[in-house]
Structure 1
Amino acid sequence: MTARIVVLDGTRASLLERLHDVRSQGDIPLVGDQRWPQEHWTAVRALAAAKAVPEEAAWATLTSGTSGTPRIVLRSHASWQQSFAAIATILTGPVLLPAPPASSLTLFSLAHALNGGPQPVDNDEATCFHGTPQALRTVLESSAYPRLRTALVGGSHLDPQLRAAAQARGIRVVSYYGAAELSFVALDQGTGLRAFPGAELGVRRGELWVRSPYTALGYLGTAGPLRRDGDWSTVGDRANLDDGVLTLQGRADSAILTASATVVPEDVEATLRTIAGVRDAVVFGFPAPGVGAIVAAMVEPLGAPLTVGELRTTVAAHCGPAHRPRLWFTGSLPRTASGKPARAEVRRQALSGKVERLA
């Protein structure tokens, strides 16, 4: 009998049991997000029902949607199972999973739990954490989970100050780079991102390529950034690889073309995060006649309101003229289900005048 994709709501009550039931029937679970509007649920269910799935497919996840509409990603069970042993050396006890189950990083940990891995908890028994930097920051700002000793952090950039704050509380921090399509690619245990066990990294013309057993089968009924060349795969992330240490420079399709310059948003965002009072930031292109786009930034304050003067002073000291934001916005950043800043939504809100502009 042909397997089908079963779309589950994101309620956590008995979710492990429901995932087990779907898998035991030979079907493929896909967990949705309770915060979705009804039309999004309808679209995802229609796509899941309309297309045949490969025989080896066992799990369906969603891309994070940081740059557009989420896609359904199909993967075999082996593509996750083969990484369980490496993750088990990091997450060794009950694990806190703050990101919604619709997030591929949370669903990975639930799949691991079904195969004898650390069991998910949401109480003071948690000794491990698997989630995004934003979720880790929230945990550190609270007095909850006093027994946490290990944090596996992925999904977006980990601020060095956040790593230091966690370590000061006695929490060992292991961050990683991965993607819904590639799973784990590289780990950083404090000395830079290095290839995840079993993965091989290469950079071709500035673009990161990965050869590993963890790559997904592909997308369901849609195209996406995943490309293959034999055993190698890429999702288009720009990177440098120097003596085994990987430095990411962002997705190629997020680059801002402004006049004669190409600006990588992640480079400017890294500078903005060093400014006192900035919790997080997103840089994007704002359409401008004659030059294509100008660099704009939305900053999320930490505490007191920010001023354009202090922001401009810092970027002027660290960024070339073409890379300095000309427009500034402020407010709480919209985020994806996994906690990543939603770049496309930030840009949409700025263009429609729905966020505060700093004068």
Structure 2
Amino acid sequence: MTTGSPDLLVPAGSTWDQLFPALRTLLHEASGDEVCDRADEPCVVVATSGSSGTPKRVRLPASALRASGEATAEVLDGHGRWVLALPTHHVAGLQVLARSVLAGTEPVALPAGPFTGGAFASAVSRAGGGSPTYASLVPTQVHRLLQDADGTAALASLDAVLVGGAAADPGLLRHAREAGARVVTTYGMSETAGGCVYDGVPLPGVVARLDPVDQRIHLAGPVLAQGYADAPDLTSTAFQVLEGRRWFVTGDRGSWQGGRLRVLGRVDDVIVTGGHKVEPRDVETALRALPGVTDAVVVGVPDEEWGQVVAAVVVPSRPTDPADDLARLRAALAPTLPAHALPRQVVLRDAIPLLPSGKPDPARAGALLRAAASPSAEG
């Protein structure tokens, strides 16, 4: 293969038709049986979502994108036609383009503007044909589709829908599957060429392990990035050789359940309140299970007495008296959560603050909660 080709930069605002020809060329250079010299291999440079801090520029070798796309086809129903509903300057949308290149198809992109069930249904209709039809979505998009009859029907008509980018609520996944959708949850990040663990099982060629001390997830395999552009110190910290294998050291904790990887949350997201550790994801799941709650994001807010308090930005499903929400939510959650995990602060909003990638933005959620300065609950 040809080496030494310039990197393909993916700036914010890039459209799929601008990137697609260059990505096709780059992936074709990575084809064949020849082993690439990773130091010289052409790369795509894509920014991380910024959910864990300042976005970083990740150098993804063409071979990593190809390995990821081929493994995805292997665990689904083969290569197919993809609906593009995500921005292509983040890895999930970029992978829709890469998978389309490998399939020899072109993606069907939603029009610019708000994501709606009607627009998604139209794109799915245009994508349908003789090959499997897929989409990659974030949980917020799935939720919106399930509120729309046409969107729900389109979701159910797909051969598979990959759901990633953020933790998907079990209730949302159940609702989607009951509606007939073949939902495949994905876990991964820009540094692993996108999702590399599907429904808790690593893709072919990918290996996952947990650090024995802090249960931090390590990932290895042909999907790994080369590193960070112009940041050798960050690269040496995040990509480490352990026991003869190169690993990406994630910022997430996990556990194995029935042979499947369960992601528990960010290592630095654990809320320590009064000496107790609280998993934000457990509180979010309990909140979303309440009849009056549509969505929620939970963070720890500094507190003089408790160190941190459990705090939540909640999207109610109907108008509610804000003065009663904290007491009502704590009472409703008491049967399912220990006392130390009950929220001591709550803010109501029409929507969860999101990053451009579609992931919840915990930094903005924390800022909303601090600005609201709600009084702590007793107990």
Backbone CA RMSD of aligned residues: 3.0
State the partner residue of 2:336. Answer: 318
Pair member with larger Rg: 2
Shift of 1:11: 4.9
- Partners of 1:68 and 1:304 lie apart in 2 by 33
- Partners of 1:221 and 1:265 lie apart in 2 by 34
Cα distance, 1:199–1:22 mapped onto 2, change above 3 Å:
closer
Task: Point out where structure 2 has 5 or more consecutive residues left out of the alignment.
Answer: 30-37, 111-122, 128-132
Shift of 1:341: 0.6
Q: Compute the TM-score of the two structures, normalised by the length of structure 1.
A: 0.81
Shift of 1:16: 4.0
Q: Compute the TM-score of the two structures, normalised by the length of structure 2.
A: 0.77
Structure 2 residue aligned with 1:328, among 341, 346, 365?
346
Q: Describe the superposition over 1:197-239 as per-residue Cα deviations: whole angstroms up to 9, x where unpaired.
A: 2212222222222222111112223437734233233213111
More off after superposition, 162-171 vs 240-249? 162-171
Q: Describe the superposition over 1:239-285 as per-residue Cα deviations: whole angstroms up to 9, x where unpaired.
A: 11134121211111112222322222122222222112322211111
SS of 2:365's partner is: helix
- Partners of 2:290 and 2:5 lie apart in 1 by 54
Shift of 1:105: 0.7
Structure 2 residue aligned with 1:108, among 72, 76, 95?
95
SS of 1:163's partner is: helix
Q: Please say if residues 24 and 101 of structure 2, whose CA atoms lie closer than 8 Å, have aligned partners that are also in contact.
A: no
Shift of 1:85: 2.1
The one-letter amino acid of 1:211's match is A
State the partner residue of 1:173. Answer: 183
Identity level (%): 29
Q: Describe the superposition over 1:16-41 as per-residue Cα deviations: whole angstroms up to 9, x where unpaired.
A: 445448849x9xxxxxxxxxxxxxxx
Shift of 1:111: 1.8
SS of 2:263's partner is: strand
The one-letter amino acid of 1:111's match is A
Task: Point out where structure 1 has 5 or more consecutive residues left out of the alignment.
Answer: 27-52
Shift of 1:315: 2.4
Shift of 1:153: 1.0
Cα distance, 1:275–1:74 mapped onto 2, change above 3 Å:
same
- Partners of 1:226 and 1:117 lie apart in 2 by 34
Q: Please say if residues 93 and 119 of structure 1, whose CA atoms lie closer than 8 Å, have aligned partners that are also in contact.
A: no
Structure 1 residue aligned with 2:368, among 314, 325, 349?
349
State the partner residue of 1:133. Answer: 139
Cα distance, 1:272–1:82 mapped onto 2, change above 3 Å:
same
- Partners of 2:333 and 2:241 lie apart in 1 by 39
Q: Please say if residues 298 and 328 of structure 1, whose CA atoms lie closer than 8 Å, have aligned partners that are also in contact.
A: yes
State the partner residue of 1:226. Answer: 238
The one-letter amino acid of 1:60's match is V
Cα distance, 1:245–1:314 mapped onto 2, change above 3 Å:
farther
State the partner residue of 1:63. Answer: 48
- Partners of 2:22 and 2:207 lie apart in 1 by 31
- Partners of 2:346 and 2:94 lie apart in 1 by 36
- Partners of 2:298 and 2:47 lie apart in 1 by 24
Shift of 1:166: 2.5
Shift of 1:154: 1.0
Count of equivalent residues:
328
Q: Please say if residues 201 and 210 of structure 1, whose CA atoms lie closer than 8 Å, have aligned partners that are also in contact.
A: yes
Shift of 1:342: 0.7
SS of 1:282's partner is: strand
State the partner residue of 2:117. Answer: none
- Partners of 2:104 and 2:255 lie apart in 1 by 33
Q: Please say if residues 251 and 266 of structure 2, whose CA atoms lie closer than 8 Å, have aligned partners that are also in contact.
A: yes
The one-letter amino acid of 1:346's match is A
Cα distance, 1:13–1:260 mapped onto 2, change above 3 Å:
closer
The one-letter amino acid of 1:195's match is P
Shift of 1:118: 5.1
The one-letter amino acid of 1:321's match is A
- Partners of 1:101 and 1:116 lie apart in 2 by 18
- Partners of 2:185 and 2:257 lie apart in 1 by 19
Q: Please say if residues 334 and 342 of structure 2, whose CA atoms lie closer than 8 Å, have aligned partners that are also in contact.
A: yes
Q: Please say if residues 277 and 304 of structure 1, whose CA atoms lie closer than 8 Å, have aligned partners that are also in contact.
A: no
